[in-house]
Amino acid sequence: MWNLLSAALLMTAVWPSKVVEAKQENRRNAPHNFGEILQRIHELRAQSEQEFPKHILTSSYHSSGLDIQMLAALLDRVKQLQAGSLDVNVSEICLNRTEHYLGGLMNRQYWALQMFDATAKLPSGIMDGKITLLGSYSECTRAKGYVQYNVTTGQSNATLVTDKFSGQYCLASIPIPWSNTTLTAQGQKIELRIGVCLPGGCNEQDAKGLVNTLLSVLRLNTTGVSSATCPRQDVPWSTGAIAVMCFVGFLVLLVAMGTVYDIYVQHAMTQFNTVQIRVPYETVNNSAGNTGEHALRVGEYAPIHDQAQYPTVVNKSLSPPSYRGTIHKIIIAFSMYTNGAKVLNTKQGSGALTCVNGIRFLSLSWVIWGHTYAFIVFFVDNLAPVYQDLTKRWTMQVLLQGTFSVDTFFVLSGLLVTYLTLREMKKGSGSFRINWGLYYFHRFWRLTPPYMLVLMVYAVTTKYWATGPLWPEQGAMDQFCNETWWTNLLYVNNFVQMDKMCMGWSWYLSNDMQFYVVSPLILIPLFWHIVAGGAMLLYFLLACLIYTGVMCSIHNFGPGLATQSDQLTYFDLVYIKPYARIGPYLMGMVVGYVLYLTECKPKMNKMIALGGWVVATACALAVVYGVYDVYQGHPLSNDVGAFYNTMSRTVWGACVGWVIYACCTGYGGFVNTLLSWGAFVPLGRLTYCAYLIHPIIMFVVYSVRERLIFVTDVSATYFFFGHMVMTYGCAFVVSMVFEAPMMGLEKAILNRDKSV
């Protein structure tokens, strides 16, 4: 409707004299309701269908600098391409249709003007980072062009043939010729991207050749197209994608069947909780609870003619039928009724570390907040001012230092592994009573099924979810996942083919698994003797600090990921390597060991506790805000930067460890009250699935758009809360279908009611 209103207004601007002459007539024939207004607009559009593009769309390409002479020059180049006199690879069908497209522009044909209107034009705001010029994807795909030509069918017979085609949208990437420096973000080049509307039948190679030809006509030979993508609609599903969706559908069917069965069983058990039984007079007051020889079976009542002998009805609690078989447990493992109740239950046991769930949720919120800004970089309309503003505001240091949120998860992992494993070893009278095979299997089984299922859906099916100017034709890094998925399965993707990592955020899972694998080297000596265990832990810590310091000194890495000029090298050598990230995990192990020794009941002077809070808070603020001047153009020296990179993550882990220790031992105050809030319990249980899928949610939200995002604090906050709601909503579904059933299967098959 708004397009029609705009068309009417533009027509009024084109023919002002006609408007003046028609005033009297319009007043007499003025519409009296909204329906009549719409009808008039449709009539105006129909009347102006031929004149509107001539007056309005013609001015569009005149204002873009493309005049008749320029079109003629471009058409001449296309004919040279057809003749083969230019060394540019463009298909014959694309060249023929492009020739008629240019001819249609010169003749002011509506479909040609529509395709040109859908092509991006140079806008204002280039210096503010507006380097993605999308044009109009929808308008391009709606454009319907045609070419008519005669085909000779005999010696003298000729048939007029009409070649109809739709517009083909392509997005061409052109290196920015500002300097010799290559701009990158998240390992990808930041280039000028221009949307062009070409005739149907043109592919990516054709788009590169035609845009390069246009650049030469415009005398912009200093640069050229590096790549082009031409999204296509109605892409047929591959066999692999169909197989994946069938498998997911099978899991959903199992969940539905398990849920129905579970509800039936629960209903049956409820029927047996309390039943009414008619009993003789002499057995009503039997203190032993025995109904004697006249007792009736469950569900059986006395005949009507016996009412005089059995007039009394009493409520009797009976034992329900047993549903304890392995088959029953396997079916129940897929029940959303039972699994949902477990996940959403806010109660915690008396010995639970109640603050952990709150820390989990808040840490993942920090991750999602940081990724909201990080992943939006290729979809921003005002790139330069947004990120310049972020670095100058001290309040945004928490965002820029968001990578420490992952270190918080490492602390939690180290703490829980140590605390729970040592308790199990104590129950079993030593490390030799622990089944270390099950120790590793449980961790692998706990993490891998939902991880691999999410990866499978992500890698194989995302290309079919949508289409648009920003939607990648291969889906979400499909070409990487096809090659390197096995490194994710083996949790070695932080060592093998890092440049082709599938699910780039999964490096954290590999580190966490690798830390878990080596933990017994510390736990076993720590259980038998504190000195032996402490020496082993100190060995790992020193190795971590020395390696990080040496790498940062050699390569002159700045403090943190956001300040790196060579982010890929830093990411490869330091950021994702376990021997550079194990420090916070070791701090968690220290706290877990102390809680195990003291059974969470230490006695501590309140002044010492207050001092611990002051020191932990000061150190945490120093880690987050200590590099503020770096973002203001005052870089640290090489030695200071290396020291910060070496110590910051371990210090942060110690600070988080203190918070957990204080909260678990009664010195947390209002912090413990907040972190132990019951609402955080189910959210904490969903954190793993939420971490797996939150970048996919962002990928869909950002990539499905046809317009760039003008980022402000308000819009970013809106996106953040939207990501949070969508992530946890989808995480619940993933947990019910992928995660909870696998955990239930483990318990059913291995009879594991409790796990380390």
At residue 343 the predicted structure's pLDDT band, cuts being 50, 70 and 90, is very high
DSSP state for residue 235 in the 8-state scheme = P
Question: Where is pLDDT greater, at 619 or 476?
Answer: 619
Rg of the chain over Cα atoms, rounded to whole angstroms, equals 35
Burial class (CB in 10 A: 0-12, 13-18, 19+), 175: middle
The predicted structure's pLDDT at residue 429: 66
Question: Does the pLDDT at position 552 exceed 70?
Answer: yes
Least confident of 72-86, 626-640, 710-724: 72-86
Least confident of 161-175, 275-289, 331-345: 275-289
The predicted structure's pLDDT at residue 734: 96
Q: How far is CA 743 from CA 214, 249, 347, 515, 692, in A?
A: 59, 19, 20, 22, 17
Q: What is the rounded average pLDDT of the residues 506-523?
A: 96
Question: Does the pLDDT at position 444 exceed 50?
Answer: yes
At residue 251 the predicted structure's pLDDT band, cuts being 50, 70 and 90, is very high
> Per the structure block, which two tokens stand in for 368?
């999602």
Are 598 and 665 within 8 A, CB to CB? yes
Beta-carbon count within 10 A of 618 CB: 11
Q: What is the rounded average pLDDT of the residues 318-336?
A: 76
Q: What is the rounded average pLDDT of the residues 324-344?
A: 90
Q: What is the rounded average pLDDT of the residues 416-442?
A: 85
At residue 281 the predicted structure's pLDDT band, cuts being 50, 70 and 90, is very low
pLDDT in tens, 672-720: 999 999 999 999 999 999 999 999 999 999 999 999 999 999 999 999 9
Q: How far is CA 465 from CA 126, 252, 599, 634, 704, in A?
A: 32, 19, 51, 45, 9
At residue 121 the predicted structure's pLDDT band, cuts being 50, 70 and 90, is confident
pLDDT in tens, 197-216: 999 989 999 999 888 888 87
pLDDT in tens, 571-604: 999 999 999 999 999 999 999 999 999 888 877 8
Q: What is the rounded average pLDDT of the residues 62-70?
A: 58
Mean of pLDDT over the chain: 81
pLDDT in tens, 484-498: 999 999 999 999 988
pLDDT in tens, 4-50: 434 443 343 444 444 444 445 555 555 555 666 666 656 655 555 44
The predicted structure's pLDDT at residue 288: 41
The predicted structure's pLDDT at residue 613: 96
Taken in order 483, 486, 489, 490, the sign of the CA dihedral is negative
The predicted structure's pLDDT at residue 122: 79
Question: Does the pLDDT at position 1 exceed 80?
Answer: no
The predicted structure's pLDDT at residue 221: 64
Question: Does the pLDDT at position 446 exceed 80?
Answer: yes
Q: How far is CA 200 from the centre of its chain?
A: 33
The predicted structure's pLDDT at residue 255: 95
The predicted structure's pLDDT at residue 588: 97
Q: How far apart are CA 222 and CA 125, in angstroms?
A: 22
Burial class (CB in 10 A: 0-12, 13-18, 19+), 549: middle
Give one DSSP letter per residue of 252-314, joined into a string. HHHHHHHHHHHHHHHHHHHHTTSEEEEE-HHHHT-TT---GGG---TT----GGGTTT--EEE
Are 376 and 705 within 8 A, CB to CB? no
The predicted structure's pLDDT at residue 11: 40
Least confident of 85-89, 269-273, 285-289, 738-742: 285-289
Q: How far apart are CA 354 and CA 663, in angstroms?
A: 8
User: pLDDT exceeding 90 applies to what percent of the chain?
Assistant: 44
